């Protein structure tokens, strides 16, 4: 069947068959389809839609476009977590070692930060020497040895997504739920999991600002995951303010280590709570624990015993990082940085925080990248001292910028200050977990 026949069918609003979607994905990977033909079909899908069956077939075709991770000889339930990304979203760094300490195998394939959201790989690379470029065999050996591995996507894992995502990015066809589902879920399902916990964020710093959009995405991802034989559950979590205390690569690793060392403060509690919730879902979905309460108790017990910290120590050693950060997380903090306070412009209550602006500000001072090839300054970042619902007085500290130069702080000060909406009326703190699908 010729590409133009498949394009015409979708252009005219018809559902595509398994064979037709298979031909398309094959053509994307082997170059038989020209870029303009790929773009035309993706645009036709965007405009005329994909039904659930097409969404599931597309996901399956994409996941089989390259190698998959075979963990059959690891005698533990296999589970992972995926987040749609946010500001200060660092839970992967706790979830992987915590789930491993509880008894799961976690093949955590992660990404890099782009725009206002951070990426797990960049965070991990703030640990000196930590190697995120593992072959599939190294990934497997690491999981066998310590229960989890965290690494980037290899060229052989879901190659169709790399090409398709580039086409979608260049043709304004990224924001369509079935295409997002196929893109995200094909990469996760290539890990051959038993269970997957999804963290779909909603709010000012999320990919999906509106709750209803986040819910539709969560439902669509759960539908595809479960239809493909992976027990999948999603939480919709709050991203109306940065998660926890710090934003920025080294600072976020520091926060996670403080939590795993049981040395956290109150501002870090949401990071801890969300990490436990998602890990507990992985434990119940795999059948490892009988219910979410039992699973949460197990997580609390492991954290209080320091077991995830020891899993992380073993993992850092295996991935060639500097294990000294485990016993001395302060080595992650760069003492030569300037710490500039962001102060409240008025008195009242914090009624809203523009998390997107905070994420962008950190990106602007080097903590993130605007283009995939940009370098990242792992040390810079932000301490988020006040949250929604807190009372503040004019001049009081809202947060602290960690930066290299005074000029950097000056360039983002106003953006950070105006990210806080301060009003006379008090407000309640937003719920961290808003909904479970």
Give the strands of the sheet with 420-423, arranged side by side: 391-392, 348-353, 420-423
Q: How far is the CB of 111 from ligand URA (least distance, A)?
A: 7
Q: How far is the CB of 139 from ligand URA (least distance, A)?
A: 19
Tokens 């619902």 map to which residue? 389
Token pair in block for residue 227: 């239809």
Is 187 a known active-site residue?
Answer: yes
3-state secondary structure at position 400: strand
Is 14 a known active-site residue?
Answer: no
Q: How far is the CB of 164 from ligand URA (least distance, A)?
A: 9
Catalytic residue among 81, 82, 188, 264: 82
CA dist., res. 309 & res. 361, Å (int): 31
If binding is defined by CB under 6 A, does position 114 make contact with ligand URA? no
3-state secondary structure at position 84: coil
Strands of 279-425 (E only): list them: 338-343, 348-353, 381-384, 391-392, 397-403, 420-423
Q: Which stretch binds ligand URA (CB under 6 A): 29-37, 98-106, 176-184, 306-314?
A: 176-184
Token pair in block for residue 342: 């962001």
If binding is defined by CB under 6 A, does position 117 make contact with ligand URA? no
Token pair in block for residue 296: 């949460």
C-beta of 167 vs 409, nearer to ligand URA: 167
DSSP-derived secondary structure letter, 429: P
Among 110, 173, 183, 232, binds ligand URA (CB under 6 A): 183
Catalytic residue among 89, 122, 161, 199: 161
Indicate if the alpha-carbon torsion angle 154, 160, 161, 165 is positive or negative: positive
Among 109, 184, 218, 253, binds ligand URA (CB under 6 A): 184
Is 133 a known active-site residue?
Answer: no
Q: Which stretch binds ligand URA (CB under 6 A): 22-30, 178-186, 361-369, 370-378?
A: 178-186
If binding is defined by CB under 6 A, does position 164 make contact with ligand URA? no
Q: Which stretch binds ligand URA (CB under 6 A): 11-19, 144-152, 175-183, 388-396?
A: 175-183
If binding is defined by CB under 6 A, does position 323 make contact with ligand URA? no
Contact 80, 106 (CB under 8 A): yes
CB-based closest residue to ligand URA: 183
How many residues lie near ligand URA (CB under 6 A)? Answer: 6
Element at 29 (helix H, strand E) = helix 18-30
Q: How far is the CB of 168 from ligand URA (least distance, A)?
A: 7
If binding is defined by CB under 6 A, does position 180 make contact with ligand URA? yes
Q: Which stretch binds ligand URA (CB under 6 A): 62-70, 112-120, 179-187, 399-407?
A: 179-187
CB neighbour burial string for 170-209, b if at least 16 within 10 angstroms, e if fewer: ebebbebbbbbbbbbbbbbbbbebbbbbbbbbbbbbbbbe
CA dist., res. 45 & res. 37, Å (int): 12
Q: Which stretch binds ligand URA (CB under 6 A): 58-66, 174-182, 214-222, 369-377?
A: 174-182
Closest CA to 126 of 329, 318, 301: 329
Is 265 a known active-site residue?
Answer: no
Is 82 a known active-site residue?
Answer: yes
Left if phi > 0, otherwise alpha if psi is -120 to 50, otherwise beta: which for 287? Answer: left
Burial of residue 28 (CB within 10 Å: 0-12, 13-18, 19+) is buried
Catalytic residue among 81, 123, 187, 245: 187
If binding is defined by CB under 6 A, does position 174 make contact with ligand URA? yes
If binding is defined by CB under 6 A, does position 196 make contact with ligand URA? no
Residues near ligand URA, by CB under 6 A: 165, 174, 179-180, 183-184
Residues designated as active site = 82, 161, 168, 183, 187
């Amino acid at each position: 069947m010729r590409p133009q026949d498949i394009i015409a069918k979708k252009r005219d609003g018809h559902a595509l068959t398994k064979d037709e979607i298979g031909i398309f994905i094959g053509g994307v990977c082997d170059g038989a389809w020209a870029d303009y033909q790929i773009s035309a079909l993706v645009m036709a899908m965007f405009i005329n839609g994909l039904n659930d069956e097409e969404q599931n077939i597309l996901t399956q075709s994409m996941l089989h476009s390259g190698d998959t991770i075979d963990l059959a000889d690891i005698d533990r339930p296999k589970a992972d977590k995926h987040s749609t990304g946010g500001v200060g979203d660092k839970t992967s760094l706790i979830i992987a070692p915590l789930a491993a300490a509880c008894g799961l195998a976690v093949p955590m394939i992660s990404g890099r930060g782009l725009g206002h959201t951070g990426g797990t790989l960049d965070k991990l690379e703030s640990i000196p020497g930590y190697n995120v470029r593992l072959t599939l065999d190294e990934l497997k050996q690491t999981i066998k040895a310590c229960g989890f591995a965290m690494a980037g996507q290899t060229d052989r894992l879901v190659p169709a997504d790399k090409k398709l995502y580039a086409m979608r990015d260049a043709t304004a066809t990224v924001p369509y739920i079935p295409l997002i589902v196929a893109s995200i879920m094909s990469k996760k399902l290539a890990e051959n999991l038993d269970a997957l916990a999804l963290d779909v964020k909603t709010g000012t710093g999320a990919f999906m600002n509106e709750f209803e959009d986040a819910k539709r995405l969560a439902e669509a991802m759960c539908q595809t995951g479960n239809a493909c034989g992976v027990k999948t559950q999603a939480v919709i979590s709050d991203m109306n303010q940065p998660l926890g205390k710090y934003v920025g690569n080294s600072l976020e690793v520091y926060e996670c280590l403080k939590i795993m060392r049981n040395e956290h403060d109150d501002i870090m509690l949401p990071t801890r709570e969300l990490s436990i919730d998602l890990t507990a879902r992985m434990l119940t979905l795999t059948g490892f624990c009988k219910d979410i309460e039992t699973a949460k108790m197990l997580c609390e017990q492991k954290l209080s015993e320091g077991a995830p910290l020891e899993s992380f120590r073993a993992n850092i050693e295996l991935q060639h990082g500097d294990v000294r950060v485990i016993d001395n997380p302060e080595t992650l903090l760069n003492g030569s940085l300037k710490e500039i306070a962001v102060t409240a412009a008025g008195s009242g209550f914090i009624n809203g925080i523009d998390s997107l602006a905070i994420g962008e500000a950190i990106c602007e001072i080097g903590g993130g990248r605007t283009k995939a090839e940009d370098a990242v300054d792992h040390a810079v970042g932000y301490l988020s001292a006040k949250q929604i619902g807190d009372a503040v007085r004019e001049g009081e500290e809202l947060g602290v910028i960690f930066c290299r130069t005074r000029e950097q702080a000056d360039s983002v000060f106003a953006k950070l200050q105006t990210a806080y909406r301060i009003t006379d009326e008090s407000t309640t703190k937003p719920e961290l977990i808003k909904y479970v699908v």
